[in-house]
Amino acid sequence: MRAVVIERYGEPAEVRDVPVPEPAEHGVVVRVEATGLCRSDWHGWQGHDQDITLPHVPGHEFAGAVEEVGSRVTGWRPGDRVTVPFICACGTCPSCAAGDHQVCERQTQPGFMHWGSFAQYVALDHADVNLVALPGELSFATAASLGCRFATAYRAVVQQGRVAAGEWVAVHGCGGVGLSAVMIAAASGARVVAVDVSAQALDLARAFGAAQCLDATSVPDTAAAVRDLTGGGAHLSLDALGSPATCAASVNGLRRRGRHVQVGLLPSPSGTTPVPMARAIALELELLGSHGMAAHTYPPMLELVRGGVLRPDLLVTSTIPLDEAPAALAAMGTAPGAGVTVIEPWS
C-alpha cells in the first residue's frame, strides 16, 4: 500500500510503498477513504510526541470501510462504514469500566503510538470497543473529522464545558477544532466570541454562528477585549490552538466562576506552560482538560449531524491526494489554513 512515511523529525516526509497491516485478534484493518490533516499530526512530525517511533506513518482522524476482521471481533464485518476515536481504548481497565474510554490506562493512538491513516489501510485495536458505525448518508470526507476535531470539540463544549443556552463562550483559535467548537456552541444556544489572527478563519466562524469575531492582532490585550465584548467575561472559554498566549488569554478572559477547557496541545521547551493561577483562585475558575471522546458517547452527536443541526461537512475546505500530504503537513507550521483539509489516499 502507499503511505506517507516520516524518517526524520522536521524533514520532508515521502510517499512510498509499505506492507499492508494485518489485524490483531481483537482488531480490524480499515480501508482509509478519507483522513484529516490535523495540527496534532504536525506536532508529531516535529518530534513533540514521545510515543512516536521512527520511521512512522502519521494520521489519526479518518473514516473508511472495514477490510479485514480479527478472529475475536464479534460486532463488525468487512464492508462496514466506520470511523474511530483517535484514542482507542482497551475496554477493560478501571477507567474503561467507568465509561471513561478517552482516558484509558492502556490506550493506543493511531498515528502516534502506531502507524496511522496517511495510508491506504490502517490497523486498529479492540474493534468492538472503539469502532463507530457511520450513517449511510454521511460522506467519508465529512466523517473523517468525527474521529478527532469535531468529536473533540463536542466533548470539550458539551460534556466537559457544560455549555448552556445564553452563555458567552470564547473560542481561542479557529482552526478545525475551534470552528467545530464555534458551530457546536452556537447550535447549543450560546453566544460565541471567536478569536483568531486570520480574517478567513473569522469569516468562517461568523458563518458558523459566532456572535462576535475578534482579530487578536488588532487589540493590545485579547482577554480584556473578550471581557468587554461579553460584559464581564466568558462563562466558558476554550483554547483550541494550544500556545502559552492563547491559554493565558482564555483563562484571563473568563468571568467569575467561569470554565476554561484546554483542548490544544501545549508543547514548550521547558515542558510546562505558565497558567494564571492567581486569577483562577481569586475568581474560583474551573480549569479542565479535554482529550478526545469515547466511542460509546458518539450517538447523540451523530443524531445532531443526521438532523442537520450540526454540519461538519461545512468544515471541509480542501481535499487533496496522498501525494500532496507531505507538503501540506509541513505547511501547517507556517500556514495552517482555515477549515479542515482532507486527504483521500486512493485519489
What integer pLDDT is reported at residue 13 of this predicted model?
Answer: 97
Q: Name residue 262's beta-bridge partners.
A: 239, 289
What integer pLDDT is reported at residue 271 of this predicted model?
Answer: 65
What integer pLDDT is reported at residue 50 of this predicted model?
Answer: 86
Residue 249 and residue 275 in one domain: yes
What integer pLDDT is reported at residue 336 of this predicted model?
Answer: 62
Residue 309 and residue 284 in one domain: no
3-state secondary structure of 17: strand
Given the C-alpha cell 471513561, which residue does it identify? 100
What integer pLDDT is reported at residue 337 of this predicted model?
Answer: 65
Residue 8 and residue 144 in one domain: yes
Residue 131 and residue 157 in one domain: no
| Whether 126 contacts 87, CB under 8 Å | no
What integer pLDDT is reported at residue 340 of this predicted model?
Answer: 87
Residue 330 and residue 224 in one domain: no
What integer pLDDT is reported at residue 344 of this predicted model?
Answer: 96
E strands, 55-148, are 62-69, 81-83, 121-124, 132-133
Instruction: For the chain, 347 residues long, give each residue's pLDDT as a single digit of tens.
Output: 999 999 999 999 999 999 999 999 999 999 999 999 988 899 899 998 888 999 999 999 999 999 999 999 999 999 999 999 999 999 999 999 999 999 999 999 999 999 999 999 999 999 999 999 999 999 999 999 887 899 999 999 999 999 999 999 999 999 889 999 999 999 999 999 999 999 999 999 999 999 999 999 999 999 999 999 999 999 999 999 989 999 999 999 999 999 999 998 887 656 678 899 999 999 999 999 999 999 999 999 999 999 999 999 999 989 999 999 999 999 987 766 677 899 999 98
Number of domains in the chain: 2
Count the helices and strands in the chain (H runs, E runs): 12, 15
For strands 234-239 and 254-262, give the pairing. Answer: parallel
CA–CA dist 36, 313 (Å, integer): 12
Which of 243, 263, 289 is the last residue before a domain boundary?
289
Tell me the residue type at 77. Answer: R
Which of 269, 289, 309 is the last residue before a domain boundary?
289
Burial (CB count <10 Å: 0-12, 13-18, 19+), residue 284: exposed
CA–CA dist 24, 183 (Å, integer): 37
Q: For the domain that residue 52 is a member of, what is the CATH number?
A: 3.90.180.10
Q: Which domain holds residue 327?
A: 2-148+293-344
| Whether 146 contacts 27, CB under 8 Å | no
Which of 289, 311, 336 is the last residue before a domain boundary?
289
Tell me the residue type at 149. Answer: R
Q: What is the DSSP string of 306-346?
A: HTTSS-GGGGEEEEEEGGGHHHHHHHTTT---SSEEEEETT
Residue 94 and residue 129 in one domain: yes
The dihedrals phi and psi of 268, each to the nearest 5 degrees, come to -150, 155
Residue 128 and residue 11 in one domain: yes
Given the C-alpha cell 453566544, which residue does it identify? 191
What integer pLDDT is reported at residue 181 of this predicted model?
Answer: 97
What integer pLDDT is reported at residue 347 of this predicted model?
Answer: 87
Diameter over CA atoms, the chain: 60
Given the C-alpha cell 481497565, which residue does it identify? 93
CA–CA dist 345, 223 (Å, integer): 41
Burial (CB count <10 Å: 0-12, 13-18, 19+), residue 256: exposed
Q: Which three cell numbers stand for residue 248?
A: 493565558
Residue (of 131, 122, 124, 137) closest to 35 by Cα position: 122
Q: Which three cell numbers stand for residue 129?
A: 470497543
Residue 83 and residue 172 in one domain: no
What integer pLDDT is reported at residue 334 of this predicted model?
Answer: 77
Residue 189 and residue 78 in one domain: no
Residue 160 and residue 130 in one domain: no
Q: For the domain that residue 172 is a member of, what is the CATH number?
A: 3.40.50.720
Residue 314 and residue 234 in one domain: no
3-state secondary structure of 215: strand
Burial (CB count <10 Å: 0-12, 13-18, 19+), residue 308: exposed
